[in-house]
């Protein structure tokens, strides 16, 4: 693969650039096996339609074709796959120290960039560890819900979707 540089000039971050050193969707850490791609997550309905206010130019346009964005900057739970809000405000994530300055919108921005081929060793390890920690919610669903009952624990299911887990198979 040819190494390429991505320059970011978006409402959430400008003056930032990063290197793509892997092919999109390839050569993930062996312990990182998300069920869903960023595009699949967006099309299913995540973050109330307001994680991005429009389609960022740093990612493929196809990711955003048909994706519904909110009319204003407020999340709309009806745009989420499970029809519930399962997000904490960005300010809360910042307060807890979960936001790396390289990815000012958090885990999903990190995942989009990782998926595209950006690698940052320490940050990748930290985010993959956080992703793994979400697995506890899968076992809670398995213990509490009948297989295929998507109405059981919708908030927990929506939260899993935010982390690229597909709970529809549970």
pLDDT at 91: 86
Q: Is the predicted pLDDT of residue 1 greater than 70, yes or no?
A: no
How far is 38 from 162, CA to CA, in rounded Å?
Answer: 10
Nearest to 118 by CA among 11, 38, 47, 12: 38
Residues in the chain: 170
The answer to whether the beta carbons of residues 167 and 138 sit under 8 Å apart is: yes
Token pair listed for 28: 């993930």
pLDDT at 23: 96
pLDDT at 57: 95
Helix axes 121-133, 135-144, angle to 10 degrees: 10
> What's the mean pLDDT in 54-71?
93
Q: Where are the domains of the chain?
A: 4-169
| 86-102 residue pLDDT tens | 988 888 888 988 899 99
pLDDT at 90: 81
Which ranges of the chain does DSSP label H, i.e. alpha helix? Answer: 38-44, 90-95, 107-116, 121-133, 135-144, 154-162
How far is 149 from 170, CA to CA, in rounded Å?
Answer: 8
pLDDT at 89: 82
Instruction: Give the DSSP H/E element, type plus range, for residue 144.
Output: helix 135-144
pLDDT at 73: 76
Looking up tokens 């992703």, which residue turns up? 131
Token pair listed for 123: 């940050």
Nearest to 51 by CA among 102, 89, 15, 14: 89
> What's the mean pLDDT in 64-82?
91
Q: Residue 161: pLDDT band by 50, 70, 90 thresholds? A: very high
């Amino acid at each position: 693969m040819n190494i390429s540089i991505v320059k970011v000039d978006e409402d959430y971050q400008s003056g930032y650039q990063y290197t793509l050193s892997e092919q999109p969707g390839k050569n993930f850490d062996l312990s990182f096996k998300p069920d869903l791609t960023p595009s699949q997550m967006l099309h299913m309905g995540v973050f109330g339609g307001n994680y991005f206010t429009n389609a960022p130019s740093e990612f493929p346009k196809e990711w955003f074709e048909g994706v519904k964005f909110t009319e204003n900057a407020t999340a709309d739970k009806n745009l989420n796959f499970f029809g519930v809000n399962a997000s904490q405000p960005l300010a809360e994530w910042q307060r807890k120290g979960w936001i790396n300055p390289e990815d000012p919108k958090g885990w999903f921005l990190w995942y989009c960039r990782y998926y595209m081929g950006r690698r940052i060793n320490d940050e990748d390890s930290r985010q993959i560890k956080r992703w793994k920690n979400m697995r506890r919610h899968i076992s809670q669903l398995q213990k509490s819900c009948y297989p295929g009952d998507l109405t059981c624990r919708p908030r927990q299911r929506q939260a899993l979707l935010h982390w690229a887990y597909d709970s529809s198979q549970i």
